Each structure stands twice: as structure tokens, then as C-alpha cells.
Chain A
Amino acid sequence: MKKTAFLIPLYVWTAVFVLFPLAIVVYYAFTRPGADGVVLSFESFARLSDPMYLGVLLKSFKVAIIATLICILCGYPVAYTLARSRSKYKLIIIILILLPMWMNFLLRTYSWLSILENTGLLNTILVKMGLPKVRFLYNEGAVILGTVYNYLPFMIMPIYLTLLKLDESLLEAAADLGANPVRAFLRVTLPFSIPGILSGVAMVFVPSVTTFVISQLMGGGKVPLIGDVIEQQFRVVNDWHFGSAISVIVMVIVLVFMYFINRGDVENNGNGGRILR
């Protein structure tokens, strides 16, 4: 058997179920139903240039960028502590960090509602303590919280795996050469862990920018993201053309983003595991 023969199933499958469907999306994006049949048109994109849709796109980015930054800031110390630790509980803690990912993410997100809602756990405690109730839910903050909650482990793990490979003698050398711990961290550890951070960013940013479930549950329809607009077009108002046009924009942004992340990863000689979402 020739080695290319092994690739035939992949070629066929990818052509039929990956490339062809995306071609259909592109086809719908650039057409409109005309008087007689479908006609080539940029109408959907013209509609998309309305500041309203640009606003949603920008907000999706804002939410995703903030969530990703919080994941890095909160996740890095965890990864760092674990990578340097020799505790016998280390393995248990790693399992504990990974374990929630095996529980359905919708359920975990939904569970936040019973903690945060007006009559929920947290507010009940506040009232018992004589404090006023706080509206935690249905705003941008809640959506960001939901996103961070869901994707934090995806940030911790790649950074941890990269930091594991850091040779301690490098740090000792830096110390011998007179670098204080902060300087050693900034000049040695941090640059070393960049591939891990990039993998983490890829795993957190893309799903955050396109989610519609978290924004629906935690945002209560008040924080629409670009994913919500796509979902609405295909499920409620049945406008395949406009829905496809937004999908094309999202796809281009995501794939370009991933290309740069991957390149960054390669340039940093790919220390961390490759991107895995």
C-alpha cells in the first residue's frame, strides 16, 4: 500500500464535511434571493457595516480579551506554583483542576445562576449579614465570570506543561549572575513560558469570542455577542444569507488569529504542547 493511500479517507472526509460546507457558507454570504433565483450580492456585508453590528463585534472582542487576560493573570500563578512544587499532593491538585472539565459545562454554568441570582446563595448570605442585595447576574461582568470559569483550566494546563520543562539551573545561573528573583522571572521564566501562554490564549480566546450559550445564560439576553447574532439568524429569523455573512467574518478573524498564534508558537521553538483546544 502506498503511503498516500492512507490519506484518502482524510481527503474525502475533509473535502465533503469541512471544505464543502464552508464553501456553502461563503456562497450564502455573497448571495441574496433575487427576483428569479439567487443573485450575487454584497448586501449582507453592507448590512454588517452598520455601527450596531460592529459594536457587537467589538463587545465580543472586549469580553473575550478581558476574560483571556483574567485567565492568564489568575492561571499563571497556579501553573507556576504547581510546576515548582514537589508536594505529594501536586498530582491530586492537577486532577482537581482538570476534573470540572468532565462535567457538562452547561450544568456548571447554570449552577452559577443559583449562586448569583437575586434570591440566590450569595445574596441570601449578604442579607443575613445585614448587607444590601447585589445584582450579580445579567451584565457583562457575569458573562466574563462565566467565560473565565469555563476556560481557566485550559489556560493553566499549557502554561504548567511548559514551565515543567524549565531547567532550574537556568534560574540558578541567573541568580549567580546577580539577578534578583523578580528580574530572573521576567528575563528567564516568563519568556520561556510564552509558548504555553500562547496555547492557552488560543484555547480560551476563540471559544470566548464566539460563545452564545454563556452570554445567554449569564447575560440574560442583555449582553448579546456575535455568536448570539449568528444563532438568532439560523434558529429564529431564518436568514441564512446574513447569518453566513457574519460566520464568514468570524471565521476569517479566528483563522487569521490562529495563524499568528501558531507562528508565534513556532518562533518560540514550540516548547509547549501544540495548540489543543
Chain B
Amino acid sequence: MPLTLIETGKTCRVRAVGGNDAVRRHLGDMGFVAGATVVVLSEAAGGIIVDVCGTRVALDADLARRILV
């Protein structure tokens, strides 16, 4: 299911990342690759904040929907 549906505080594993090549590659460079562990830290205005590879990353809701976990 998309990352947006994960509850705050839950940990999950990335299954796939959708979207066009450039965005997907950039997400991969930042650590969003199949198999990576993601913790949803908080839901905020317009998007979510997650922990990936030990860093805090903010994503807008559209982008978060493309990350399947």
C-alpha cells in the first residue's frame, strides 16, 4: 500500500517506487529503494515526514503515494 496510509510511528519496508525516471532516480539517491526501511515520523501540512537511512526527509503527499510499502 502507499506510504501515505501508514500510521505515524510505524516502520515499513519499501516494495517499489513509481513515477517517472528522474524523480524515481532522485528518490533512490536519497535512500528510497526496494528493501529500504522507512519510519513515518509525522504527518504534517501537505505531506509526511519520514526517517529513511537515518535521515529525516519531508515528502509531499503526491510523492508519498508513489512509494509502495
Whether A and B are associated in the same complex: the answer reads no
Interface residues of A (CB under 8 A from B): none
Interface residues of B (CB under 8 A from A): none
